[in-house]
Amino acid sequence: MTVQLGLPVLRKEVPRTSLLQAPPQRPAGQPSGLFDRFGRRATDMRLSVTDKCNLRCTYCMPAEGLEWLPQPAVITAAEIVRIVGIGVGHLGVRELRLTGGEPLVRGDLVEIVRALRGRHPDLPISMTTNAVGLDRKAQALKDAGLTRINVSLDSLHEETFAKITRRPYLNRVLAGVQAASAAGLGPVKINAVLMRGINDGEAAGLLAWALGSGHELRFIEQMPLDADHGWSRREMITAAEIRELLATEFVLSRDPGERDGAPAERFRVQRRNPLTEGTAGPVLGTVGIIASVTEPFCSDCRRTRITAEGTIMSCLFSRQEFDLLGLLRAGASDDELARRWEDAMWAKPKAHGREQTGLDADDFVQPDRTMSAIGG
């Protein structure tokens, strides 16, 4: 098996054309909180703790990596704690997800979680990770106060895994998933992106594995957030196709529970009886499908994002972001920082970074940043 490791970091990230230092002020008289012009309120915070990563997933990073942020530009542990404190204490944030880049490459991750937990005893704090090295850190993260974990895993076959991530680390990821379950960070949510001709044949196999291991699988439609701009609407595997692929072995029925702003549509899963084509046996668990491209859920979006360099992004696809960390480092008060965050979220676009309905819209333009540089 040959694995393309890529050259050392060579590629510069495309310059962001519309980074603004300060957003326009929102109109006076609005209630306190991260509201936008369309009546949505962000309560779910995604915070990227680093832009670095030890994998090179083809749908996210180029083979040679990106030019990492210089260390002084990256948000520090103390700054993370202060910003989360403002989100929770002033603005109604009710849930926090740590992400990246790869959060596990950050040396002070456990200390960050411990400090956040010390200040917010009841805040759900989860983390999205590729799980490389998680086997050594899962228990410490649990003890520090992490609530739950999401692991990205697109294939259970070594060669396919290495082809997608450009690294031969499948066994390390599987060890990480197991350690997270053993440490009590479960149920582990597994995120999988399917790509045509690469791992789409594994849809049902991934689900069987997740159900058998007590994990919750969620398929994510591939979005145009790759550095190589290789995404194609025609080539991507849609949510409808994912349901068809799963139907070869399973019967899915919509979970009647409240979706409550969750991006994934959840289905109950039963085995398909190949003789009768009906269901066989009990409900084995659930599977989620996140149809960001074909069935966007922008009208119910509750996300606010802080990048590893401390800018506010109201949407993954936004081409505008606003500096929060610079203001903090210039000595701003908590109130001033909260106002900046509110103004930035007020400017949140209606859908997928644009004013039309989504990635299919005529005015969709792929953002300059990759998923890893935003914080997925």
Which residues of this protein are in contact with ligand SAM, per CB under 6 A?
53, 59-60, 99-100, 102, 128-130, 152, 191, 193, 220, 222-223, 225-226, 371-372, 376
> Among 8-16, 54-62, 106-114, 138-146, which window interacts with ligand SF4 (CB under 6 A)?
54-62
Q: Phi/psi at 35 (nearest 5 deg)?
A: -90, 160
- C-alpha distance from residue 302 to each of 306, 345, 348 (Å): 14, 11, 11
What does 56 bind: ligand SAM, ligand SF4, none (CB cut-off 5 to 8 Å by kind)? ligand SF4
Nearest to 218 by CA among 131, 302, 132, 286: 286
For residues 308 and 25, give the distance between their C-alpha atoms in angstroms, rounded to a whole number: 24
Q: For ligand SF4, which residue of 23, 43, 50, 56 counts as binding (CB under 6 A)?
A: 56
H-type helices in the chain, by residue range?
A: 77-91, 109-119, 134-144, 158-165, 170-182, 203-213, 239-247, 325-329, 334-346, 371-374
Other CB atoms within 10 Å distance of the CB of residue 43: 18
Q: Parallel, antiparallel, or unpaired: how do β-strands 44-48 and 95-99 relate?
A: parallel
In the complex, least distance from residue 372 CB atom to ligand SF4, rounded to whole angstroms: 4
For residues 286 and 171, give the distance between their C-alpha atoms in angstroms, rounded to a whole number: 25
Q: Phi/psi at 119 (nearest 5 deg)?
A: -90, -25
Do you find a cis peptide bond into 187, omega within 30 degrees of 0? yes
Indicate the residue among 99 and 320 with the shorter CB distance to ligand SAM. 99
Indicate the residue among 131 and 327 with the shorter CB distance to ligand SAM. 131
Q: For ligand SF4, which residue of 150, 152, 199, 307 counts as binding (CB under 6 A)?
A: 152
By the rule CB under 6 A, 48 interacts with ligand SF4: no
Site for ligand SF4 in 267-306 (CB under 6 A): none
What does 61 bind: ligand SF4, ligand SAM, none (CB cut-off 5 to 8 Å by kind)? ligand SF4
- Taking the CA of residue 372 as centre, how many other CA atoms within 13 Å lie in the half-sphere pointing to its CB? 28
In the complex, least distance from residue 129 CB atom to ligand SAM, rounded to whole angstroms: 5
What does 113 bind: ligand SAM, ligand SF4, none (CB cut-off 5 to 8 Å by kind)? none
Dihedral of alpha carbons 226, 364, 243, 40, sign? positive
By the rule CB under 6 A, 57 interacts with ligand SF4: yes
What does 237 bind: ligand SF4, ligand SAM, none (CB cut-off 5 to 8 Å by kind)? none
In the complex, least distance from residue 171 CB atom to ligand SAM, rounded to whole angstroms: 17
Indicate the residue among 53 and 308 with the shorter CB distance to ligand SF4. 53
Indicate the residue among 155 and 286 with the shorter CB distance to ligand SF4. 155
Q: Which residues bind ligand SF4 (CB under 6 A)?
A: 53, 55-57, 60-61, 100-102, 130, 152, 371-372
